[in-house]
Amino acid sequence: MKYKDKADKILKTGTSRQKIKLYMEDVALFNTFFIETRKPALTPTQRKEIEDLLLFSTEKPYYEKLRRWNKGMLFFKPIVALNLAHLYQTYLHLDSKAVASTKERYRLQGINTLLDLYPDKKTRDKALSIAYKTSMAKSVERYQENGKTYLRATKELYKDEIEGWLKEADNKAWLTKSYISLLKYMTDRKRLPLKAYRDLIKHQEEELKSLYEKCYHSAIVIDRNRGITKARAIPPYEEIEAEVTKEDLEELEGILAQ
């Protein structure tokens, strides 16, 4: 059954509680329109009908409970979005270094190919020296292979930057997952069981996991470009310990009480 058809049926034959939940589901759809394929189905007249019902319904406490948890959802939802945006920026930093290190690897491969075209050792050594001196400081080193000297990226290339951005990715992933755990707590069956919000949370967690893994994949590319053969392990997203703490719930209660 389509959402609008379901809404029409509830408005005609549903209980007061069902109509209240429908009203709040419509609110949730409005608040999540950018990832939801469904659109709010209630017309202004239908919304007014439910609002009038609330004036005399014995289910008003149920509405107040949903409204209170909705307030918490609206408070924390943009915080998750902001942290995802920060994690995306972290990924962009790592990805830019992955692209730069790949270009550097191909540049050095090209230089090494050209070096082998020089007919005599003296000319080759002079060309090698020029290529080495004009490379970015501490980014290139000489190495021997089959009795000849070549150039390659050092293992120190972008090392500190990579570790710093990965640490940032770990921290942002933990913080964002913690907030998502809080949203899951708020939208469980006993509090705010609205599908639109649950769909949003699922979408945000998928985005979080994807960005987190992309950060590590970029680091692996950089490692390969600087000659590190041992693959960097990607810490499983599932092992990031994030749970709703007592302090989180106390903060939440303070927000809902305002």
The pTM score is 0.85
What's the rounded Cα separation, in Å, for the pair 64 and 194? 15
Q: For residue range 97-135, what is the model confidence (pLDDT) as tens digits?
A: 999 999 999 999 999 999 999 989 999 999 999 999 888
β partners of residue 144: 149
Q: Is 177 exposed, middle or buried (0-12, 13-18, 19+ CB in 10 A)?
A: buried
φ and ψ of 140, to 5 deg: -130, 145
Q: What is the pLDDT of residue 35?
A: 55
Higher pLDDT, 230 or 59: 59
Provide, rounded to the nearest whole percent, the portion of the chain with pLDDT above 70: 95
Q: What is the pLDDT of residue 49?
A: 87
Looking at 54-68, 73-87, 239-253, which range is the least confident one?
239-253
Q: For residue range 4-59, what is the model confidence (pLDDT) as tens digits?
A: 777 788 888 888 999 999 999 989 988 887 555 556 678 888 888 888 888 888 89
Q: For residue range 139-198, what is the model confidence (pLDDT) as tens digits?
A: 899 999 988 999 999 888 888 889 999 999 999 999 999 999 999 999 998 899 999 999
Q: What is the pLDDT of residue 156?
A: 84
Compute the Cα dihedral for 90, 92, 96, 102 and give only its sign.
Answer: positive
Q: What is the pLDDT of residue 199?
A: 92
Q: What is the pLDDT of residue 85?
A: 97
Own/partner contacts of 134-142, CB < 8 Å, gap of 24 or more, are: 136/104, 139/104, 140/108
